[in-house]
């Protein structure tokens, strides 16, 4: 699924797919840190968008015919991380036929919330 993509490049791994949630991890290393040595906010947003898009795609009743595209994403960065692995959990807020809204909470290895994000996804027919 993610071969040759940003998902593969920065090391995002889906670890759990439930009926109404997804869990994925991402390393905090040279690929995902900003120059000051902290987890880059853009990396957290990449994890959030990846998880929200995948969750919306999997939840769509005709997913094999659809693409999930992000319309809007926001993120609140709550705590700095310098090493280890972060874990995201994505769950739907609203699942319509065309538009879905997902919440993604990202935590550090201690379980502390480091980022919370919300994404709006639109389902489009594949070309």
CA dist 11 and 36 (Å) reads 20
Catalytic site includes residue 109:
no
Residue 24 near residue 51 (C-beta atoms within 8 A): yes
Catalytic residue among 8, 49, 65, 109: 49
Taking residue 46's Cβ as centre, other Cβ atoms within 10 Å add up to: 19
Residue 114 near residue 107 (C-beta atoms within 8 A): yes
Handedness of CA 108, 4, 101, 59 (dihedral sign): negative
Which of the residues are catalytic? Answer: 49
């Amino acid at each position: 699924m993610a071969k040759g993509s940003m998902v593969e490049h920065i090391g995002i791994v889906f670890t759990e797919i439930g009926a109404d949630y997804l869990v994925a991890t991402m390393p905090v290393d040279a690929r995902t840190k900003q120059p000051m040595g902290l987890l880059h906010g853009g990396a957290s947003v990449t994890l959030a968008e990846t998880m929200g898009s995948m969750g919306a795609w999997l939840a769509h009743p005709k997913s094999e015919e659809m693409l999930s595209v992000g319309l809007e994403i926001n993120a609140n960065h709550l705590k700095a991380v310098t090493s280890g692995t972060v874990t995201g959990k994505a769950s739907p807020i609203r699942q319509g036929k065309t538009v879905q809204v997902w919440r993604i909470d990202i935590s550090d290895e201690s379980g502390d919330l480091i980022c919370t994000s919300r994404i709006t996804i639109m389902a489009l027919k594949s070309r």
